[in-house]
Structure 1
């Protein structure tokens, strides 16, 4: 089966497939608000602990500002999944804006985790992937410029933590500050982006698997419907071929008996006996057909027998009884090859011959019919052929041959199922009708099976 996949976006990056992750349901978005309340409480408690440890010194104003900064940095958590890209930009603005009030509060673990969560969520839930990566690149660039600004204005970020008048190590204090902050931020933003994209890809893969499962389910339903439809067509063909042949013969014999009763009643005995024989034969074949249709593949011991090529002479005999001279033309070698075909193939040949002969009886004034079975070809291009020709014209009750009738349709369908074709129409250069069915068959395969 062809693998289901989605096209890639035609954007400047071609990083992600063209798929929009669905927005979480309202119940899930409401849980984000309750999560924000919990995180706000934990962040304020954590900030109180830092204040009590003396990190913010004894300046009351600095302490109050730290609480405002911590609370402000948790606000974007409420809308992080509903508006991921907008929340990313707003959170970044808040982060840089609050750093001017309290550098220490912005640098605490709770503040860093809140901003990390916003970064991760933006990458994991953004619908417009091109816009996301543009926004993410701008955020990273702004952080890089912020580091340079700190380096230029303060000389060293370590001044934020009260580390002064220290010399030693491989680098100067400004250089060491720049290296450390660069590596930390690369790890910080890189990890947030990587984890977010991993989460987005997992959601995308789940979406693909869901679509594949739905497609498989739809295909299974379609296959089941097709199987039912094909089975109905098969049953319809079998019933039409089996019952139609006998009913048509009964009709011809009944008409003969009616004419005999009005002129010479003693001559009506033969057609009446034929009607009885045909009725019994029709019932027997109907029962046999029902057994075949009910037969399970797991029941190979069933005694139901389908008509085969060897039963075609019986069709010719019934035509003879209807007053139509029927000749079967087949050489010994071709007959042996055709009778060696699979049971289903032989049944199709029998049914096509039966329908062709029934049409002659029902729609033609023919007095003679020739049924020919042939084989030919060489190597891998061998074939088998069935041809039925008659010498009659249309009867008064038939305005036209049943080109679109169920019988001729059944012949074409059977021929197509065998990989061949059917030519049905008036004979060229002579009166009558011609049905020619040819289909490819490798007789060597059947010989090897034997």
Structure 2
């Protein structure tokens, strides 16, 4: 017929496209993620600073413009800090020359490293912490400047927000808490700096002891300062994670949309190819057969030759008409697959008669259960059944030596639903003077797959002959639009001989 005897089944194109989309969307790193060494127990501070939904996520580093903004901000903050310290010393006058220059150096040591706060956040925090604590013993006025306080807050914030690993961020927070806590304990218990500072303030009038009150106040200020920096850094890191996840979802949706668009284009092209093949091919094949017959009998039987030429004329006109209808549908938007044709099961008798006029002896048999009304079939399913019969008869006309064809449409109970089974049989042998592309058989199987069915094609056993068997699941289709117009089905049932028992395979 249209392909060799052992024709392989065509794989479902939807599954193929889905597998292709999954392969394209798969990440190259999905094969295996290297396990990082865990320095802290899982579920602890590292998880609190991170997010359980993305334990291995790393925040992307800023671009060159971001680093330039960091450098500019550090320069501005340094200049403001130096000016602020100079103004304070000018009206307070509590430092000598050596302390003054040490104060300027400390301001620069705390503010200038902010240039690299997002590139090397942990190193910057360590450096600024040493400078910040050292300032308390060298030049207290330098550490009291607002610019210095802001710079150190920014370094703590950056260490939590921009550390490449949540474990590293957790270690930084723990170590910072230990260092600051130790510093406060030393100042409160060993050093006399707190008591000396309180004595300079004079006698207080509040309900608490002056040294104790100032110690508690200092602890609360440090907790608010460092806790605020840590929580702000954590919020920044999580915000970046959410933005990255949203962007990833948007990219995935865009990629899937492209896959769906490509799938829709492919399905549309396949549907157009099937319709062009079914609409044009059987008319052209009939024209070829009838024209060849007319040429052979032209001198011997002019009556038969004239009838053959009349068939050629009718087939060519039908081909042109149906092609124009198809092109008109293609130019309109929003057309469903069934819009490519209005033929259905009710038109099978006319189709059989059409091929009988071309030289085939076709027997149409219907063996359908009483509870199945073929007039209520969905238009798309009815068109697919019609096209399958049309293609099968066209193949017999083109590729078989036989002229007796049996077309049977029956219902079969299978599991919880019924199957509409179409079987087309002939007893001829393959003609040696024809060749096919195989597109017709592919179209048969694709039409069955569109409705969740299957199609089997191959030689009859025992032969000779060829068999096409298509199976369509009959779901709960209800009242199909235009079902009342398919009134030819009951008539076909009444006028077709042997409808109740037709030869099977």
Deviations 1:8-41 (A, max 9, x none): x975333423222222222231222222222122
Residue 377 of structure 1, aligned match among 404, 413, 418:
413
* Residue of 377, 390, 394 corresponding to 1:354: 390
CA gap 1:167/1:274 in 2 versus in 1, 3 angstroms: closer
Q: What does residue range 207-356 of structure 1 map to in structure 2 within 5 Å? A: 207-261=244-298, 263-297=300-334, 306-331=342-367, 337-356=373-392
Q: 1:160 to 1:70 in 2, by over 3 A?
A: farther
* 1:187 to 2:224 alignment: yes
Q: Which moved more, 1:136-145 or 1:423-432?
A: 423-432
Pairing 1:61–2:94 present: no
Query: Which structure would you say has the larger RCO, counting Cα contacts within 8 Å and 6 or more residues apart?
Result: 2
CA distance in 2, matches of 1:25, 1:58: 42
Instruction: Tell me how far 1:167 sits from its aligned partner.
Output: 7.6
Q: Which residue of 2 aligns with 1:138?
A: 175
Structure 2 residue matching 1:375: 3-state secondary structure: strand
Distance (Å, rounded) in 2 between the aligned partners of 1:181 and 1:443 = 77
- State whether residues 260 and 266 of structure 1, in contact with CA within 8 Å, keep that contact through their aligned partners in structure 2: no
Q: Decide whether the 8 Å contact of 2:84 with 2:145 is kept in 1.
A: no
| Comparing 96-105 and 201-210, the one that deviates more | 96-105
Q: Which string of whole-angstrom CA distances, capped at 9 and with x for unpartnered residues, describes residues 102-132 of structure 1?
A: 2342244332221001111222222222212
Q: Which moved more, 1:22-31 or 1:333-342?
A: 333-342
Residue in 2 that maps onto 1:51: 89
Q: Structure 1 residues 156, 445: closer, same or farther in 2, change over 3 A?
A: farther
Shift of 1:52: 3.0
Aligned-partner Cα distance in 1 for 2:265–2:135: 70
Aligned length: 442
- Residue 116 of structure 2 contacts residue 124 of structure 2 at CA under 8 Å; is this kept in 1? yes
Shift in Å at residue 265 of structure 1?
Answer: 4.2
SS for the counterpart of 2:298 is helix
Deviates most, 88-97 or 63-72: 63-72
Aligned counterparts of 2:335 and 2:292: Cα–Cα separation in 1? 45
- Which shows bigger deviation, 35-44 or 348-357? 35-44
Aligned residue in 2 for 1:76: 113
Give the conservation status (yes or no) of the 8 Å contact 1:155–1:174: no
**RMSD (Å), alpha carbons:** 3.2
2:429 alignment partner, one of 374, 383, 393: 393
Q: What is the rounded CA distance, in whole Å, between the counterparts of 2:291 and 2:342 in structure 1?
A: 28
Superimposed CA distance per residue, residues 353-404 of structure 1 (whole angstroms, 9 cap, x where no aligned partner): 11111111122111211111122438951221211111111112358xx6x8
User: What TM-score does the superposition give when structure 2 sets the normalisation length?
Assistant: 0.79
Alignment of 1:12-31 (within 5 A): 12=41, 13-15=46-48, 16=50, 17=54, 18-31=56-69
Superimposed CA distance per residue, residues 268-295 of structure 1 (whole angstroms, 9 cap, x where no aligned partner): 1121111111111111111122222233
Instruction: Tell me the TM-score normalized by structure 1.
Output: 0.88
Q: What SS does the aligned partner of 1:163 have?
A: helix
Asked if structure 1 preserves the Cα contact closer than 8 Å seen for 2:345 and 2:382, the reply is yes
- 1:114 is the counterpart of 2:145: no
Paired residue secondary structure (1:76): helix
Match of 2:75 among 37, 42, 46: 37
What secondary structure does 2:479 align onto?
Answer: helix
CA distance in 1, matches of 2:456, 2:82: 89
User: What stretches of structure 1 of length at least 5 have no aligned partner?
Assistant: none
Q: What's the offset of the Cα at 1:145?
A: 0.9
Once residues 58 and 228 of structure 1 are traced to their aligned partners in structure 2, the CA distance between those partners, rounded to angstroms, is 80
**Which residue number in structure 1 is paired with residue 444 of structure 2?**
411
**Given that residues 378 and 480 in structure 2 are in contact (C-alpha distance below 8 angstroms), is that contact kept between their aligned partners in structure 1?**
no
